[in-house]
């Protein structure tokens, strides 16, 4: 099918790598997004969600009006293996649907957030591999992949 295996290599000390260094979540955004409809379509409750314009309390008792609707399902897997996080997320979905074509959905992506990379740790690496099966699953629901690496 011509799907190419992608590998992202990042410098990180293997023996200092923490399972908290990797967070993975499926995010769905849209100005007209109805989070309860997304939950119903996917058969999964969101880890977090809100509608556009919904007020959220911030620190100090202030409120912020949400600029767009959001639905998130975060992996609960404690692992440094990206495919295990993807499998965990998809195991919660009743039948993956083409989310990007659903009414009210403007953006769908898998967010891979890596933190705690310290240069002093010795410049080792953590491999984040998207297998062909991972890419087929993500493509099947219309999801892009976003990597965020924070040192």
List, for residues 15-56, the tens digit of each pLDDT value: 445 566 789 999 999 999 999 999 999 999 999 999 998 888
For residue 118, pLDDT beyond 70:
no
Calculate mean pLDDT across residues 53-78: 86
Kindly state whether residue 87 falls inside one of the protein's structural domains. yes
Kindly state whether residue 12 falls inside one of the protein's structural domains. no
With beta carbons less than 8 A apart as the criterion, state whether 86 and 137 touch: yes
Segments forming the whole domain that contains residue 49: 21-149
Calculate mean pLDDT across residues 95-100: 81
Q: Which of 30, 41, 39, 93 lies closest to 67, judged by CA? A: 30
Kindly state whether residue 8 falls inside one of the protein's structural domains. no
Joined together, the tokens standing for residue 121 give 């740790």
Q: How much of the chain exceeds pLDDT 90, in percent?
A: 54
3-state secondary structure at position 36? helix
Kindly state whether residue 109 falls inside one of the protein's structural domains. yes
**Structural domains of the chain, count:** 1
Question: What is the spatial distance between Cα 42 and Cα 137, in angstroms, rounded to a whole number?
Answer: 14
């Amino acid at each position: 099918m011509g799907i190419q295996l992608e590998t992202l290599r990042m410098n990180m000390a293997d023996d200092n790598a923490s399972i908290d260094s990797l967070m993975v979540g499926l995010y769905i955004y849209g100005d007209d997004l109805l989070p309860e409809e997304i939950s119903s379509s996917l058969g999964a409750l969101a880890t977090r969600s809100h509608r556009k314009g919904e007020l959220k309390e911030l620190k100090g008792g202030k409120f912020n009006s949400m600029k767009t609707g959001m639905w998130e399902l975060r992996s609960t897997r404690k692992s440094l293996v990206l495919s295990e996080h993807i499998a965990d997320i998809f195991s919660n979905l009743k039948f993956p649907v083409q989310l990007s074509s659903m009414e009210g959905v403007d953006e769908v992506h898998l967010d891979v957030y890596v933190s705690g990379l310290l240069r002093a740790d010795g410049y080792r690496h953590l491999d984040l591999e998207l297998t062909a099966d991972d890419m087929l699953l993500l493509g099947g629901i219309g999801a892009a992949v976003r990597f965020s690496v924070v040192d």
